[in-house]
Chain A
């Protein structure tokens, strides 16, 4: 074989190898760039996970990411310069990123509609553009004061489902710089960027929506707090303490303490079924109905019933089991052994039950509700417990002397059903303690409930004040729950008769 021919073959092989190396290098650069881009994308996706970072952190990371994506795009294609215009849905330029600092130029762009030059063409046609030589293409708009003259241009729309998020433009001063392969690579890159930008827009919308919802809930919470007595009324010889802590911003739990005619005290603790806004609305309804029907509003000159109506209603109430109409008529008025003032007020239970069951039965809303009427002079307490967790009468030694168990079903289930009235007397030193199931069902991280057993165990050996009793119980509940987000509404009240051992 001639030496010249051999050399020629070798030379060809070398050239071929060089080409392969070049191609591989480009492929590797592209791959590295793509994986860097992907890493940024994953980062953004992770950061947009609500609760992990603030929305501010996300916009902070978005701009560097886009800037990096632009730099990578110029690296991959060997472009000298590049720009990324971000547009909003009406086509106005929202932001612009450049590979080099162009202080003079960007300001002119902002708040302009993308209707001119190459970007304008891309905005209108939603297609990518490869200009081998700008001097041969009228779509290229020359800036008169621009020193840099671009001859090759690559323009890619960042598009997803026909929504244009931006336009990526890459420039080179030599004509015929960008290949069709570069166009393909950039199209793939732009697709990835569109995913990120879409994600950011969706997240932004979600964020705004969520903020407005939060604001509405906060308003609801303020109104609901207003439904609770602002200051717990106090009577000489008695101490009344309450605790209210809604699990959600609005709650279905409530307590109420109010003065009734003839100086008696109305005590309510209740738990409206379910959670959230629906429960909160019904809380307001239950609370108001109880106040109106119990005669509390007589004080403020707002009585809605005449005395005759009162008497008619009272006759419907009996102690003990369900009474027939005849038995009811034969029943002495007032109900034997019960304070007539108290039975008058307690009719609120039946009226409220009927009102809810008849008018709102379709919603299936109900409330467990305890209503007690206390005579502060004698300690006599007449009550109806409508399906609520038993209240406890505690001695000053922290022992349960009596449980005030349910004397009828929860309110709102079925209309026209009887509720039994019961009576007890609070001796000096004794405490009436009421709570909602948020206390006994407070869950620890291992899902275990606080339970009534633990509640009883947390009662202090000496009860010297109603407020400290509730504080002791709350410490025990918080200890049990640990770091877990509060599970249910926690509502309690304690009414202590002063004196005693």
Chain B
């Protein structure tokens, strides 16, 4: 699991690479949950995540709760077919803003800003 964090404007862009499962999810959560500060804008790029287990969904739920509680924004981009399907069945998709690409994801924040 590789986690890259960069800042584009006022948006924290987090790119994950590798499976998010019971082994890797705690590490991911530990690294990215502290980024959910008041009014923070977080973009999670999952383009290079082939598989996400329920432990990964749990991590997403924690991040969602943190950002919502702190009036922040969370956008997921690059969901693979399998992850999208899992998120659809479990109802997760209804709670998350998702975009196909990083470029589109970045514009979502801007639109919500102005």
Contacts and interface: CB of A to CB of B under 8 A. Distances in A.
A274 B91 contact: no
A413 B89 contact: no
B35 interface: no
A406 interface: yes
Given A271-B54, A274-B54, A366-B61, A413 B92 contact: yes
B12 to A, nearest CB: 20
Highest count of chain A CB atoms <10 Å: which of B25, B55, B90, B92: B90
A230 to B, nearest CB: 27
Given A274-B55, A368-B89, A387-B89, 16 more contacts: A273-B55, A274-B22, A274-B25, A274-B53, A274-B54, A364-B59, A366-B58, A366-B61, A366-B90, A368-B90, A387-B91, A406-B91, A408-B91, A413-B92, A437-B54, A488-B53
Interface string A262-275: 00000000010111
Given A361-B65, A366-B57, A414-B95, A275 B90 contact: no
Nearest to B68: A414
A335 interface: no
Contacts, number: 58
B90 A410 contact: yes
A276 B22 CA distance: 9
B90 A274 contact: no
A contacts with B: majority SS: loop
Nearest to A273: B54
Interface string B89-108: 11110110000000000000
Interface string B66-108: 0000000000000000000000011110110000000000000
29 contacts: A252-B54, A273-B54, A273-B58, A274-B25, A274-B54, A274-B55, A274-B58, A275-B55, A276-B22, A362-B65, A363-B62, A364-B58, A364-B61, A364-B62, A366-B61, A368-B89, A387-B89, A387-B90, A387-B91, A388-B89, A389-B89, A390-B89, A406-B91, A408-B91, A409-B90, A409-B91, A409-B92, A413-B92, A414-B95
A130 interface: no
Given A271-B54, A273-B55, A276-B22, A364 B91 contact: no
B57 A273 contact: yes
Contacts of A271: 54
Nearest to A390: B89
B54 A409 contact: no
A252 B55 CA distance: 11
Which of the four size classes fits the interface of chain A? 20 to 34
Interface in B3-22: 22
Given A275-B22, A275-B55, A389-B89, A409 B94 contact: yes
B27 to A, nearest CB: 14
B94 to A, nearest CB: 6
A24 B62 CA distance: 69
Contacts of B92: 387, 409-410, 413
Interface string A394-422: 00000000000010111001100000000
B113 to A, nearest CB: 25
| Closest A-B pairs by Cβ, 10 of them | A409-B91, A364-B62, A273-B54, A387-B90, A364-B61, A274-B55, A275-B22, A410-B90, A273-B58, A387-B91
B95 A406 contact: no
B22 A406 contact: no
Highest count of chain B CB atoms <10 Å: which of A274, A388, A408: A274
B99 to A, nearest CB: 21
Nearest to A409: B91
A365 interface: yes
Interface string A360-382: 01111110100000000000000
Contacts of B59: 364
Contacts of B90: 366, 368, 387, 406, 409-410
Nearest to B88: A406
B17 to A, nearest CB: 17
Interface string A417-446: 000000000000000000001000000000
Given A387-B89, A387-B91, A406-B89, A413 B55 contact: no
Nearest to A387: B90
B22 A413 contact: no
Highest count of chain A CB atoms <10 Å: which of B22, B55, B57, B91: B91
A410 B91 CA distance: 6
A132 B66 CA distance: 73
Contacts of B89: 368, 387-390, 406
A275 B25 CA distance: 11
A276 B54 CA distance: 12
Contacts of A275: 22, 55
A408 B93 CA distance: 12
A261 to B, nearest CB: 30
Contacts of A409: 90-92, 94-95
Contacts of B94: 409
Given A387-B89, A389-B89, A365 B58 contact: yes
A319 B61 CA distance: 27
A388 B88 CA distance: 10
A251 B22 CA distance: 13
Nearest to A247: B22
Contacts of B62: 363-364
A387 B85 CA distance: 11
B56 to A, nearest CB: 9
A296 to B, nearest CB: 25
